[in-house]
Each structure stands twice: as C-alpha cells, then as structure tokens.
Amino acid sequence: MTASTDIVGDGQSVASGGSPGTSPQVDPRRWLALVIIAIAQLMVVLDASIVTIALPHAQADLGISTADRQWVMTAYTLAFGGLLLLGGRIADFLGRKRIFIWGLIGFAGASALGGAAPNAEFLFAARALQGACAALLAPAALSLITVTFTEGKERARAFGVYGGISGGGAAIGLIVGGLLTEYASWRWCLLVNIPIALVAAAAALPIVRESKAEGKASYDIPGAVTVTAGLVALVYGFTVAAEDGWGSATTIGLLVGSAVLLAAFVVIETRTKAPLLPMRVPLERNRGGSFLASLLIGGGLFAMFLFLTFYFQSTLGYSALRSGFAFLPFSVGIIVSAGLSSQFLPRVGPKALMIGGSVLAVAGLLLLSQIGVDSSYVALVLPAELLISFGMGFAFVPMSSVSLLGVAEHDAGVASALVNTTQQVGGSLGVALLNTVYATAVTDYLTSHGTGPAAQAQAAVEGYTTSFLWSAALIALALIAVIVLVKAGRDDVPQGDGIPVHAG
C-alpha cells in the first residue's frame, strides 16, 4: 500500500553477467526466473499493506501503547532503509542468487517469529529482522532482473511486469489483510509470508542463474552501523518525547546522540575508500532536491496511512476488511497516475510534475484534516484519498528520474537506491514524529475537555487532524525543496533502459 521505489545495488556491477568483452548468454529460463522474482516482490508488498490493516488488532491483542505502536512500522522501515545500500553491495559480491534465496528464507523465519510474538517487544524485533532481510532481498531481486534480461525491450517488459506486481500487490494486500484479520487473526498477516517465501526460494534454486560482481569485495560496515544507530536513536527520541516530553533529559540525550552518530556517518563516508554513500551523489543540486523531497514525502505519506487506518477502525467502526476496501482507491490512484506521469515526463519535464503532484497531495491532506467523528467516507475521505494518490503518482516517477541525473555509471545503483532509502527512512521518522504529535494532541484535548466517552472520541479525531496537518506541512516542505533545488528540464530526463524505479 505504501509507495515504494525499488532499486538495484552497486551500479558498478549491475550488468555483470558474462565475461569482459563478451555478450552475456541469453538465459532460456529467464521468464520463469521473472515469475519467481515477482512472487518475492509480491510478498514484500503484501507484507507492507497487510500489516498496516492489522495494526489496530495487534495493538489491542499485545497491549501496545499509543506511543510505541509506531514501532510495528518503523522497526521494519528503519532496518530496511538503513541497511539497503549495504544489502546491495553484499548481494553484488557474495552472489545475487545466493542472497536472494537467503533473504527469502530469512524473511520467512522473521515472519514466523512475528506471527508467534507473545509481546510487543518480540514483535518489534521480528519486524526489524524482516526489514533487514528485505534489505538483502530487494536489491538482489532487481539486480537479477537486470543481468537476466540483457535485451532492451525484454528488460523493459520484465520491469513492467515487476512494477505491475508491486502496484497490484499493494491493493491485493489490503483485501487479504482485511480477510485474514477479520476471519482468522492478525497473526496470519505475518504467517502468510512463510509459504510464499519458501516456495519462491525452492523454485529459485534450479531456475535462477547466479551472478556476481568482479573485483575485491568491500563493505562499509562502520557507515552502516553509525547511520542505522543514529536513525534508531532519533526515532526512539521521538517516541520517548510522547511520554516524557520534549524537554526531558532522556529525549534530549537521544536526539543529541542521534546527531552525533549521523555526523560521524558523514565523516566516515568522506574518508573511507569504499563509502556506503558517496557524498558526491546527494550533494548535486538536482539529485539532492529529489532525495530531500523523497525523505519529506515519505514522512508525510507513511504517517497518513497509520492514522487513517486507526480512524477507519477505531472512530468510524469499520471492520479490517472494510478498511482494506476503503484504501483501495488510493492504490488505484497511484497506479493510474504513475502511468500517466511516465507518459508526461518526456513532454513537460520532471519539475512541473513534481510540483503539481506535491500540490495535489498537500490539498488532499488538508481536506483530510477536516474529518470529524462521523464524517462521510464518500463526501470527504474518498476525494482526499484520490487527491493524495494522484499527487504521489505524479511526483514519484519524475523524482526517481531526477535521482539519476548526471550520475556516473558506477554510482547509478547508489543513486537509484537512495530514492527508496530516503522514502523508508523518511517514513520511519515521520511516523515516529507524528505519532508523538498525535499523542500530545489527544492528551491536551482530554486535559481541557474531560475524559468522558464523547471527549475521548473527539480527542482521537483531534489527534488525527493535527497529524494530517503536520503531514501536509512535510509535503509542503518537499514542494519548497523541489522549487528551490530542482532545475532539470525535459531535455535532462534520462532515456533508455537504465535502472528502473517505480511507484507501487
């Protein structure tokens, strides 16, 4: 359900499939390999949308606090986003097929642990493990497609199938998540990954070809550790602020510690011989604007899904299944608008589409901020969903294109990866921050209006609307970043069958 941009790993090694100076041999089972890779992608996309729908039930069952509930989402996205660049390098040097299979097996194991979680902390840890496995699985899968399909038209067709699975899978996950939660248990929303992952892993063994990068393996472990630890400290600081306040010693300590760790990451990246993130990639003006916008949009969008899910189920009294159907127009809107954006991009250029898409999304979130305890879905929520989804579809495609502007071939994988990384990291930070904003708004309302049933219902809505306003502000900041930093025109759009990025 969430918008995502999938990538390959180290751009230097993406196309390595044969000997230097020779054309790689065409794989006669390449379309079967694509089916297996698409099944794996379907699982990852299903997991994101299924868990979102199941979250209210998991919170009630495990007694997760309002401040901590965001960890069900952020534990996954932090591990995924924080380790994605490292995962791409590991897949390139240890073997893309090998890491693809181990990523699937690990994802199945993590899903089993999450489905059997006896308490909140166990569930959070399982979700983090899922994210780490996805950080291996996603770049390996995209790299495998690139080295398996060597002819331009076939490669484009393969990535079209892959992108269609991503978009359609999100919609399927909404319904499957609703069905499993309502008629079985929220636990099955995690357990369903096990057969999918194991079947895909078993099928990959005889069918998918192995490929590796040439040269000496090099992994920036210090960079991966510092950036991930810094992001975890930042999210945890936001979480503590919901209970102890922004001025507490613990909150300040975590936020300062996060700043120190992230600063250390930048220093490491400027001095290491094989950096996880070469600073030349994000510091170019157009690319930097695209990555910053991606970070801010991810923050606003992921948080919107969290609060709208709780609004449907806790305030409007929707079942999990009905909530899934209520989100369907969003998935459809992104699929349609992403297709239109691909057609418009060569004609109007990336900046106009990014600006227009961001404006639509801000308008939709401002409309959502008008919801009440008994608002009409058709009259208010549905138009807002359509505005946001069309806006995001129009923004994501050119954003992905701008991320590759002027980038050297050996940096292409990192540049493309950063779009997904910034969305995942932005989503983690946005959900944590706005969950704290929500909790503060609810507490303030109850303090001044009492704690009766009517006041509690209205307090929750006050929390939702405040959070939607903050989400709109985050995407408005993304709009400003695009206007100020992105200067690329239609003649600058990359052409050809390079590394793909898609909204799903």
What is the band of 24 on the pLDDT scale with cuts at 50, 70, 90? low
Tell me which H or E stretch contains 341.
Answer: helix 320-348
Query: What is the C-alpha to C-alpha distance for residues 168 and 188, in angstroms, rounded to an integer?
Result: 20
Token pair, residue 251, equals 């909150």
pLDDT of residue 265: 93
Query: What is the C-alpha to C-alpha distance for residues 447 and 456, in angstroms, rounded to an integer?
Result: 11
Q: Are 302 and 427 in contact (CB under 8 A)?
A: yes
Structure letter (DSSP) for residue 379: I
What is the band of 345 on the pLDDT scale with cuts at 50, 70, 90? confident
Q: Are 501 and 5 in contact (CB under 8 A)?
A: yes
Query: What is the C-alpha to C-alpha distance for residues 372 and 315, in angstroms, rounded to an integer?
Result: 9
**Of 304, 326, 327, 257, nearest in space to 435 by CA:** 304
Residues 6+ apart with CB under 8 A from 7: 84, 88, 138, 139, 142, 413, 416, 417, 419, 420, 499, 501
pTM over 0.75? The answer is: yes
- Supply the Cα-derived Rg of the chain in whole angstroms: 22
pLDDT digits (tens, 9 = 90+) for 203-213: 999 999 888 77
How many Cβ atoms are within 10 Å of 394's Cβ, its own excluded?
28
Token pair, residue 363, equals 């308008």
Number of H helices, E strands in the chain: 16, 0
pLDDT digits (tens, 9 = 90+) for 48-83: 788 989 999 999 999 999 889 999 989 998 888 888
Tell me which H or E stretch contains 397.
Answer: helix 382-402
Query: What is the C-alpha to C-alpha distance for residues 291 and 418, in angstroms, rounded to an integer?
Result: 7
What is the band of 459 on the pLDDT scale with cuts at 50, 70, 90? very high
Indicate the average pLDDT of the chain. Answer: 86
For the chain, how far is it from start to end, CA to CA, in angstroms? 7
Secondary structure, 3-state, 25-68: CCCCCHHHHHHHHHHHHHHHHHHHHHHHHHHHHHHHHHCCCCCC
How many Cβ atoms are within 10 Å of 184's Cβ, its own excluded?
12
**Tokens 């994000």 sit at which residue?**
282
Determine phi and psi for 56, rounding to 5 degrees: -60, -40
Q: For the CA atoms of 31, 32, 38, 42, what is the dihedral angle to 10 degrees?
A: 150
